[in-house]
Amino acid sequence: MARVWQLLLFVLIMAVLIGLPPLLGAGLQNAMTNMLIAALFAMAFNLLMGQGGMLSFGHAAFYGVGAFAVMHLMTAIDRGGLSFPTPLLPLAGAAAGLLVGLVTGWFATLRSGVYFALVTLALAEMLHSLAPHWEGLFGGEAGISSMRMPWGGFIFGQVIEIYYLTLIWVTLSIGLLYAYTRTPFGRLTLALRDNEERVRFMGYDAHATKMIVFAVSATFAGIAGGLLAVSNEQANYELFGTHVSAQVVLHTFVGGSTVFFGPAIGAAIFTLFAYLVSDVSRSWLLYQGVIFVLVMLYAPLGIGGVVMLHLRHWASIPWQRMVGPYAGATAATLLMAIGTVMVVEFLEALFSPHYVAQRRQAETSWPAFERFGASWEPFGILTWGPPLLLLIVGLLILLRLRHRIVALWDEVQETAETAARSGA
């Protein structure tokens, strides 16, 4: 039964990904392209992190290397010296990712844990500081820029064409990554995470195995970077920046590293969040950070992990008793979110240069400010009262409901444990 549902969900998502974009504007089509690329990057990262148990802080290195490789190939085609099918450009990213992944993987996987993370961090940082000075390879701080050439009847000038090209590549790549988990080597990767020493005792070369996992992860990160280069027709040293490495860690953790599709979910949500919210509010980075902290504190398994937990215990969850508290908690979260947004936006308005100018022109020392299409008094009860009330009410409801939800889940866990015991 669960298999049928999973298949249905998969078909539905694919239908949306294929059918929706032509109905959207080019801006959203581009945002969805970025979403797919971020999803693939996070999935590639999670092969190493979630499955191999190696936390890399420098995955931007392979992402960037993939992008630059594609740019060099694109330039070679553009200058007319080479004929190469445009849709296959990301192959250059894969090759570069694999090569660099093998070489650096050999070094990095000599150590594990924190030392491994530091080596990868240093690796990306090395490229980040080297790239602006190496004009020939990385094009200085402006980077390399080129143009996609038409191929096989496709112009590749419209965003929608790039979207579908990206969709095909991402679907194929994630399919391959999924297939990988089904192979004996994929099982070995999990074993490596769980107990490296035992893997060694079983007669495997742990270092070589880790190196291969590293290289495979780097290859797919290279494809993701390559797709970005195809989409942007430009690559520069910023791709090696720590924020790119941090972003993928963030996506993976919010989405859930223990679930196969978790990182893709996290990447999709955050990319769309950034696209939609950054136009509306200047404080969007703050909101993104708050969401990340909240997920880490209260749902360390990530969004995908929470969904999986519910799916796994679907039958034994007492839904009649659960629906009420869940609905209440959702409403309370919404109240708190509205309260937070109001407070943040009010503060932002009060500290904006626009308001400083207003204060200079106005007669009174603290004129009313505009926000959400209404006018607010800086020290008014009506300004600060409602958001604070929302925050307090929401918090109280959440605190009350939390106990009930936890109690209900304890029951669920107990049933599951007794079932497991009787089964054994």
Partner 1 sequence: MRAMTTLAVAAAVLSLGAAEVKAESLKIGIIESLSGAQTSTGRLFASAAQYVIDQINADDGFNGSPIEVVEYDNAGGTTGAADRFRQAVAEGVHIVVQGASSAIAGQITEDVRRHNIRNPGDEVLFMNMGAEALELTGEKCHFYHFRFTTTAPMRVNALVSAMSEEGDLGSRVYSINQNYSWGRDMEEAIRAAAEAGGYEVVDSDLHEVNRIQDFSPFVAKIRASEVDTVMTGNWSNDLLLLMKAAGDAGLDVRFGTTFLDQVGNIANAGETAVGHYIAHLVNLELEDEAWVQDYEQVTGHVPVYIEPQTVNAMLLLREALSDLDFGGEDIDVTQIGLALEKATLEGPNGTLSIRQEDHQIVTPVVVSRIDEGAKYAVDETQWGFVPVKVVSAEEAMYPVQDSCQMDRPD
Q: Which residues bind partner 1 (CB under 8 A)?
A: 9, 13, 16, 20, 23-28, 30-32, 34, 129, 132-133, 140-143, 145, 147, 155, 157, 159, 228, 231-234, 236, 238-239, 241, 265, 268-269, 272, 275-276, 278-279, 282, 284-285, 353-354, 356-361
Give the DSSP H or E segment for 85. none
Residue 142 Cβ vs partner 1, minimum distance, rounded to whole Å: 4
Rounded Cα distance between 49 and 210, Å, is 12
Whether the CB-CB separation of 65 and 217 falls below 8 Å is answered with: no
Secondary structure (DSSP) of 40-103: HHHHHHHIIIIIT----S-THHHHHHHHHHHHHHHHHHHTTS----GGGTHHHHHHHHHHHHHH
What's the one-letter identity of residue 171?
A: T
What's the one-letter identity of residue 115?
A: Y
**Residue whose CB is less far from partner 1, 196 or 238:** 238
**Residue whose CB is less far from partner 1, 31 or 54:** 31
Q: What are the start-end ranges of the E strands in 75-207?
A: 144-145
Secondary structure (DSSP) of 24-52: S-HHHHHHHHHHHHHHHHHHHHHIIIIIT
Residue 306 Cβ vs partner 1, minimum distance, rounded to whole Å: 13
End-to-end CA distance of the chain, in Å? 23
Whether the CB-CB separation of 70 and 84 falls below 8 Å is answered with: no
The three-class DSSP label of residue 76 is helix
**Residue whose CB is less far from partner 1, 31 or 332:** 31
DSSP code, position 245 = H
List, in order, residues 6 or more apart from 367 with CB less than 8 Å away. Answer: 358, 359, 378
Residue 400 Cβ vs partner 1, minimum distance, rounded to whole Å: 25
Angle formed by the axes of helices 206-232 and 90-108, nearest 10°: 150
**Residue whose CB is less far from partner 1, 278 or 340:** 278
Residue 122 Cβ vs partner 1, minimum distance, rounded to whole Å: 15
Chain length of the chain: 424
**Alpha helix stretches (DSSP H) within 233-352:** 242-255, 262-280, 284-298, 302-312, 319-351
**Residue whose CB is less far from partner 1, 29 or 209:** 29
Residue 364 Cβ vs partner 1, minimum distance, rounded to whole Å: 16
Residue 285 Cβ vs partner 1, minimum distance, rounded to whole Å: 6
Whether the CB-CB separation of 350 and 369 falls below 8 Å is answered with: yes
**Residue whose CB is less far from partner 1, 28 or 211:** 28
**Residue whose CB is less far from partner 1, 52 or 143:** 143
**Residue whose CB is less far from partner 1, 132 or 328:** 132
Phi/psi of residue 374, nearest 5 degrees? -140, 170
**Residue whose CB is less far from partner 1, 27 or 113:** 27
The Cα-based distances of 118 to 46, 54, 59 in angstroms read 17, 11, 12
Angle at 155 between CA 154 and CA 159, to 5 degrees: 105
Residue 147 Cβ vs partner 1, minimum distance, rounded to whole Å: 6
What's the one-letter identity of residue 337?
A: A
Residue 244 Cβ vs partner 1, minimum distance, rounded to whole Å: 9
**Residue whose CB is less far from partner 1, 258 or 288:** 288
Residue 354 Cβ vs partner 1, minimum distance, rounded to whole Å: 8
Q: Which of 192, 187, 189, 175 is nearest to 261 (CA)?
A: 175
Residue 270 Cβ vs partner 1, minimum distance, rounded to whole Å: 11
